[in-house]
Chains A and B, each alone.
Chain A
Amino acid sequence: MSHQFQLFARPAEGSLERILRTVRARGFEVQDMNVRLEGGRYHVRLRVAGRRDPGMLARQLEKLWDVEHLAALQAAPEARESLGRVSAA
């Protein structure tokens, strides 16, 4: 199951590593990642695959101090349902 997120993150030292290690440690695999630094923040598009609840991953990513905003762009309907308070674009 593939899930896509868009994140905006402060360009603090280690912020991209935190995002990547959160994806890995919470049981997902990065399938595609696009990052650009624009307007003083990282714009990250992330596509991951995993069997766990993508809502759980979204909440863990959103908890990162550097992450200012997170939106779920694409997920299976049941996954979108479970994303809870994370905004679905």
Chain B
Amino acid sequence: MPADADTASPHPMSDSPTRNGAWVVLEVLKRHRVETVFGYPGGAIMPLYDAMAQDAAPIRHILTRHEQGAAFAANGHARASGRLGVCIATSGPGATNLITAVADAHMDSIPLLVITGQVPTGLLGTDAFQETDVLGLTLPITKHSYLVRHVDDLEAVLEEAIHLAQEGRPGPVWVDIPKDVQLAPAQLSSGSALGHRTSGEAETPDEAALARALDLLGAARRPVIYAGGGVALGHGVAAFRDFVARTGAPVVTTLKGVGLLPPDDPLNLGMLGMHGAPCANRAVQASDLLLVVGARFDDRATGRLAAFAPDARVIHLDVDAAEMAKLRAPEVALVGDLNQWLPRLALPLSIDDWRERCARSRRTEGFRLPPERPEGGFPALRFLDALSRRAGDQTYVACDVGQHQMWVAQYYGFHHPRRHLTSGGLGAMGFGLPAAIGAQLAHPDARVINVSGDGSFMMNVQELATLGRYGLPVKIVLFDNQYLGMVRQQQELFYEGRLSSVDLSDNPDFVQVARAFGIPARRFEGADAMEAAIRACLETPGPLLLHLPIEREQNVWPIVGPGMSNDQMIQEDVA
């Protein structure tokens, strides 16, 4: 964004860094071992960028080509690393451009610190150049947000913001800092201790509830564990796997829970919900007890809520008390750290018949690759299945949003939920490429693949320049059906086939686009090209875009229609 012409002037350059509010921001970030930040400069945030320029040991700043790219990259960095992500932008349009990616972090409980410049305090509320009410804009999409009016408050606010973003149920916290506050002389305090409450620690173990939960578990004949993104967010994957092994209960996962169990674990029934595995949905619908772990009864998981698991009692474990009875009242609510609850619930269950029934269903109604269709274009599903078997368990896959996102969840075999970066709650197209950039910077030696569609890819295509600038070896797998495929599929199924504004047949030549940004690119067409595409994806050093034209009318199966029960899955052969 262009620099503004306000009344605040920067300090003159000197040999030692100017000790001002901007310097405080950097010092606090370093105190918390923040090594990488993502951002885009502009007028009201120039003091912070000037402080970076003066810093003898600067935090690495990744310049993206759009503020949304910066926030999604920080978001992807946090998802892949399990640590705080940080993004920076200027006031006005810089701040508003961050909004989508911050809303995404809010929906998916990603710890993010968002720092924006603001017009000087004397101009607040005057409709100044590049002024927007950032605090007001961010109320619904953050865990908390601050406007810092006095430099003396800045350090404490930043400390609280960093703490708050990561404690309890994580989320984005936004700190808006007027330009004069950044420029005001400042010192650091001697310590960072704060006396604020922590929402995640407010709960004390409820022994009566635990006893009730154990009674329900012991009495259950058809229990199912319904697990979501909260398990990995709570650093509870090991405890969860141990719990599953000890109870022997079948498991279904949400989109964000994919990878909680290895794909070949016999207790793993797969993803439930709108595009879930039939065996997962059937098990939930037949269950007499749902043990809900780090999940929130999202409508994409439950289908019509009133018909969801109609015979099941519910035990709900979550760090967020506000999720209890938000959508479905549990018989037992266990609020707090699942690492503490799960070992105490690990009761071996005598459910051999039920386990065998689920295992049979898994064999016959799990996700199965459709028959080969040589005339059907590039075989996207087979490619994802084969790629996941050969790419290694440590590969990170960042999806965009749409049909390809569901195919990845269905057919890519994840071994840990942190390897699967996907915009679950918000469903934000444009997430994938910048999130992959963030993941690659968090794990420079890891293999990182962005799986995208032709609609989503165009939403943050400018970040190809970021990929090129930093020489990141991200591979972009671009499935191109020249449609907004998920919308087209639903128009065909639920709007009597009236296609409306979904045709993308005027897409640019993606190979030429990538090359224009300095990114190598290759096109692979038809079923015979699959092996070459896999080898190119796995063996090419540096970045590569794989342009994969797929069958235009290919759909995601099964699908549960809007307002329908998960019993009413539409399968390909009956559509």
How distant is B136 from chain A, measured CB to nearest CB, in Å? 7
Q: Given that A18-B139, A84-B333 are contacting pairs, would A65 and B144 also be in contact in the complex, using a CB cutoff of 8 Å?
A: yes
Smallest CB gap from A86: residue in B: B321
The listed residue (B146, B149, B321, B325) touching A63 by CB distance below 8 A is B321
Q: Given that A65-B144, A84-B333 are contacting pairs, would A55 and B325 also be in contact in the complex, using a CB cutoff of 8 Å?
A: yes
| Residue A32 lies at the interface, judged by CB distance under 8 Å to chain B | no
Task: State A55–B144 Cα separation when bound (angstroms).
Answer: 22
| Residue B384 lies at the interface, judged by CB distance under 8 Å to chain A | no
- B325→A56 contact, CB < 8 A: yes
Task: State A68–B195 Cα separation when bound (angstroms).
Answer: 13
| Residue A82 lies at the interface, judged by CB distance under 8 Å to chain B | yes
Q: Chain B residues near A62: list those with CB within 8 A.
A: 321-322
Task: State A62–B333 Cα separation when bound (angstroms).
Answer: 17
| Residue B275 lies at the interface, judged by CB distance under 8 Å to chain A | no
How distant is A20 from chain B, measured CB to nearest CB, in Å? 10
Q: Given that A21-B140, A84-B333 are contacting pairs, would A59 and B322 also be in contact in the complex, using a CB cutoff of 8 Å?
A: yes
Q: Chain A residues near B321: list those with CB within 8 A.
A: 59, 62-63, 85
Residues 49-77 of chain A: 1 if any B CB is under 8 Å from the residue's CB, otherwise 0? 00001011001101101001000000000
Residues 135-175 of chain B: 1 if any A CB is under 8 Å from the residue's CB, otherwise 0? 11001100111110100000000000000100000000000
Smallest CB gap from B321: residue in A: A59
Residues 46-78 of chain B: 1 if any A CB is under 8 Å from the residue's CB, otherwise 0? 000000000000000000000000000000000
Task: State A65–B147 Cα separation when bound (angstroms).
Answer: 15
Q: Chain A residues near B320: list those with CB within 8 A.
A: 63
Smallest CB gap from A59: residue in B: B322
| Residue B326 lies at the interface, judged by CB distance under 8 Å to chain A | yes
Residues 321-339 of chain B: 1 if any A CB is under 8 Å from the residue's CB, otherwise 0? 1101110010001000000
How distant is A9 from chain B, measured CB to nearest CB, in Å? 13
Smallest CB gap from A61: residue in B: B322
| Residue A13 lies at the interface, judged by CB distance under 8 Å to chain B | yes
The listed residue (A25, A59, A85) touching B140 by CB distance below 8 A is A25
Residues 1-44 of chain A: 1 if any B CB is under 8 Å from the residue's CB, otherwise 0? 00000000000111001100100010000000000000000000
Q: Chain B residues near A13: list those with CB within 8 A.
A: 135, 146-147, 149
The listed residue (A14, A60, A85) touching B136 by CB distance below 8 A is A14
Smallest CB gap from B196: residue in A: A65
Task: State A55–B322 Cα separation when bound (angstroms).
Answer: 9
Smallest CB gap from B323: residue in A: A59
Task: State A53–B329 Cα separation when bound (angstroms).
Answer: 10
Residues 287-326 of chain B: 1 if any A CB is under 8 Å from the residue's CB, otherwise 0? 0000000000000000000000000000000001110111
- B145→A14 contact, CB < 8 A: yes
- A63→B135 contact, CB < 8 A: no
Number of A residues near B (Cβ < 8 Å) is 19
- A59→B136 contact, CB < 8 A: no
How distant is B195 from chain A, measured CB to nearest CB, in Å? 12
> Which residues of chain B from 442 to 476 have any CB-CB distance to chain A below 8 Å in the complex?
none
Q: Given that A21-B140, A25-B140, A65-B144 are contacting pairs, would A14 and B324 also be in contact in the complex, using a CB cutoff of 8 Å?
A: no
Smallest CB gap from A18: residue in B: B139
Residues 188-227 of chain B: 1 if any A CB is under 8 Å from the residue's CB, otherwise 0? 0000000001010000000000000000000000000000
- B139→A63 contact, CB < 8 A: no
Residue of A18, A65, A68, A84 with most partner-chain B CB within 10 A: A65
- A63→B136 contact, CB < 8 A: no
How distant is A53 from chain B, measured CB to nearest CB, in Å? 7
Smallest CB gap from A13: residue in B: B147
- A14→B164 contact, CB < 8 A: no
Q: Chain B residues near A12: list those with CB within 8 A.
A: 146
Q: Given that A65-B144, A84-B333 are contacting pairs, would A21 and B324 also be in contact in the complex, using a CB cutoff of 8 Å?
A: no
> Which residues of chain B from 113 to 140 have any CB-CB distance to chain A below 8 Å in the complex?
135-136, 139-140
- B144→A60 contact, CB < 8 A: no
Task: State A72–B322 Cα separation when bound (angstroms).
Answer: 16
- B324→A84 contact, CB < 8 A: yes
Smallest CB gap from A20: residue in B: B139
Smallest CB gap from B149: residue in A: A13
Q: Chain A residues near B136: list those with CB within 8 A.
A: 14, 17
Q: Chain A residues near B149: list those with CB within 8 A.
A: 13
- A63→B322 contact, CB < 8 A: yes
Q: Chain B residues near A21: list those with CB within 8 A.
A: 139-140
Q: Chain A residues near B325: list those with CB within 8 A.
A: 53, 55-56, 59, 82, 84
Q: Chain B residues near A53: list those with CB within 8 A.
A: 325
Q: Chain A residues near B197: list those with CB within 8 A.
A: 68
- A65→B322 contact, CB < 8 A: no
Q: Chain A residues near B143: list those with CB within 8 A.
A: 65
User: What are 11 residue pairs bridging A and B, where the CB atoms are less than 8 Å apart in the complex?
Assistant: A13-B147, A13-B149, A17-B136, A18-B139, A21-B139, A56-B325, A65-B143, A65-B164, A84-B324, A84-B325, A84-B333
Which residues of A does B touch, CB under 8 Å?
12-14, 17-18, 21, 25, 53, 55-56, 59-60, 62-63, 65, 68, 82, 84-85
Can you list the 5 inter-chain pairs with the closest CB atoms, starting with the nearest? A59-B322, A65-B144, A63-B322, A14-B135, A60-B322
